[in-house]
Chains A and B, each alone.
Chain A
Amino acid sequence: MKILLIAESREGKLLGSCYELMAFAEKMAAETAMVLVGSDSALPRFAGKLYLADATAVGEYNPDAHKQLILDVVAKEQADMVVFSHSSYGWDLAPRIAFAMKAAQISEVVDVVDGTMVVPVCNAKLRRDVTVKTAKTVVTLQAGAFGLAEEPTAAPTVEPIRVEAGGKVRFTGYEQAEIGGVDLGKAKIIVSAGRGIGKPENVAMIAALAKALGGEYGASRPVVDSEWVEHNRQVGTTGQTVAPKLYIACGISGAIQHLAGMKKSEFIVAVNTDKDAPIGDVADVLVVADLKQFVPLLTEKIQAL
């Protein structure tokens, strides 16, 4: 079995998720090669062949060109499986490659058990084992699901590849996330509001608890999308990554994209009416309660200490 790993680069930097791809390949005990549209000044450590295209020539986002580059290498290497991260880059490209290869695509793999791929269902409340009926497979890996015990030290054997830069999709540049305002990364205590707060007026009770504890308040994405809280307070893959001493998640279900931003917190408390909410998997304490009752009570008692 030959696996082709697709590394990513963003704004000229190699993304560390390439080592997760390698960890997956190690678990599959397969031969590997790697493709990167990036730069020769930011190469992964990898004991194998790296097909490298120059991102400044092709564009970091150019699905038509990247697809062609990858398909050329698939043909050359006779790859049986192509593996991406389940990232904005991976989930955009993987179905294009799967379609061209007449392959099944298994999305967001969290584990491999005796060769069977395991994926989450319903906000990780359930899991399923997937079997494929095609000769070739395309896989995307959930961020953080696979890790190497030790990062490799070897330098790859680089083989340059190129393709016509054209394509139907025109990428004109990046827009940076807004900066300024609160820096959640510095907070030692964070109390976050999720959709469970129900209405914008209830942000105040989350902020009050944060204040009583001497911390900051954060939020999950729906609360930010609804413009109840500003974006620089959003915790998760498309917001901030935080690791405070104490994180209290109020009315947050615990979607993987939220967990990715806070699961390294030292102590995690979740307040949720749903005893089965996935946030329970990372919480040191799950308080099964209506936050609208519980949070003000807790704030009062803490203020009285």
Chain B
Amino acid sequence: MKILVCIKQVPDMESKFKVDAGGTWYAKTDLAWRMNEYDEYAVEQAVQLKEQEKDGDLTVLCIGSEKVKETMKKALAMGCDRGAHITDEEVSGKEPYQIAGIIAEYAKDKNFDLIFTGMQSQDRGSAQVGILVAEMLGIPGITTVVRFAFKDGVVDVKRELEGGIKACVSVNAPAVITCQLGLNTPRYPTLPNIMKAKKKELLSTPVQELLKVEARQETAKMYFPEKKGGGLVLEGDAAALADQLIKILKEKTAVLS
């Protein structure tokens, strides 16, 4: 069984962001980078499936500069067998249709039985790539999956809807599954597995070989939203802050009286 999991490297969302000189993206300096949170669930599910299916073979794909290999190594240490790195210095400027186009072009002749992606990325948050890949490959795609099971070529999943209701859905492989938070408990790579991962295949392919589609949209401008609320910001010593807050709660709410 052949499995593909697609991951993205994103900045830590607690970072202090700045807009870059071009004014259309955030500056990439002074940021801590990590695996997109949703993709951690995708990698874990793909690894679990590979472990379940004895003949499982799992490729992790990531598009980006040399730097994304760090994140790919984490996926390899979690249990992916090999890495397909698509070298692209300009990945942040690519819109979801192009990203999906690159992935579909990579996957088209490889007969993957299942393709996992995160349901969205934490930075762009477009939630498009997984389904676009499915459409491009002409196979079914299911989004927002919080439960996954696979048996005899049939995928049984639960999609999470608003309010915590789930839709129970099944589909025959091949298919694309986009993973939602809470799908599983992503494992921490162990030291021996981190060492083993260093020896795994990690091949780079220039993006030009796989990018066959044109951008359908672009970012005209990136900026900080105007601060809406005139909310009070309190800073300083913790004890003093507690006294200040109690005073405010007494004045502004009835909860302490």
Contact = CB atoms under 8 A, between A and B. Distances in A.
Contact of A96 (B96, B131, B229): B131
Interface in B210-251: 214-225, 227-229, 231-235, 238-239, 241-243, 245-246, 248-249
A27 B111 CA distance: 46
A266 B252 CA distance: 10
A302 B227 CA distance: 31
A21 to B, nearest CB: 16
B53 interface: no
Given A125-B13, A281-B229, A284-B229, A245 B255 contact: yes
A233 to B, nearest CB: 12
B158 interface: yes
Interface string B61-92: 00000000000000000000000000000000
A112 to B, nearest CB: 13
A253 B14 CA distance: 8
Given A91-B143, A168-B140, A284-B232, A301 B242 contact: yes
Nearest 6 CB-CB pairs, A to B? A177-B164, A225-B182, A104-B216, A95-B131, A104-B217, A99-B135
Contact of B135 (A95, A169, A171): A95
Given A88-B159, A286-B234, A123 B13 contact: yes
A238 B122 CA distance: 18
B181 A222 contact: yes
Contact of B242 (A10, A95, A284, A294): A294
A217 to B, nearest CB: 15
Given A87-B162, A128-B24, A107 B11 contact: no
A61 B246 contact: no
A281 to B, nearest CB: 5
Interface stretch (B42-50, B166-174, B189-197, B198-206): B166-174
Interface size class of B (residues with CB under 8 A): 35 or more
A126 B182 CA distance: 26
B135 A282 contact: no
Interface of B: 11, 13-14, 16-17, 19, 24, 26, 95-97, 119-120, 122-128, 131-132, 135-136, 140-144, 158-172, 181-182, 185, 214-225, 227-229, 231-235, 238-239, 241-243, 245-246, 248-249, 252-256
A180 to B, nearest CB: 13
A156 interface: no
A175 B222 contact: no
A57 interface: no
Nearest to A282: B229
A266 to B, nearest CB: 7
Given A245-B253, A284-B232, A231 B238 contact: no
A305 interface: yes
Given A123-B13, A133-B215, A173-B168, A95 B220 contact: no
Nearest to A280: B231
Contacts of B17: 122, 125-126
B235 A121 contact: no
A61 B220 contact: no
Contact of B131 (A92, A103, A132, A253): A92
Given A99-B135, A107-B128, A245-B253, A133 B164 contact: no
A213 interface: yes
Most buried by A among B123, B125, B185, B246: B125
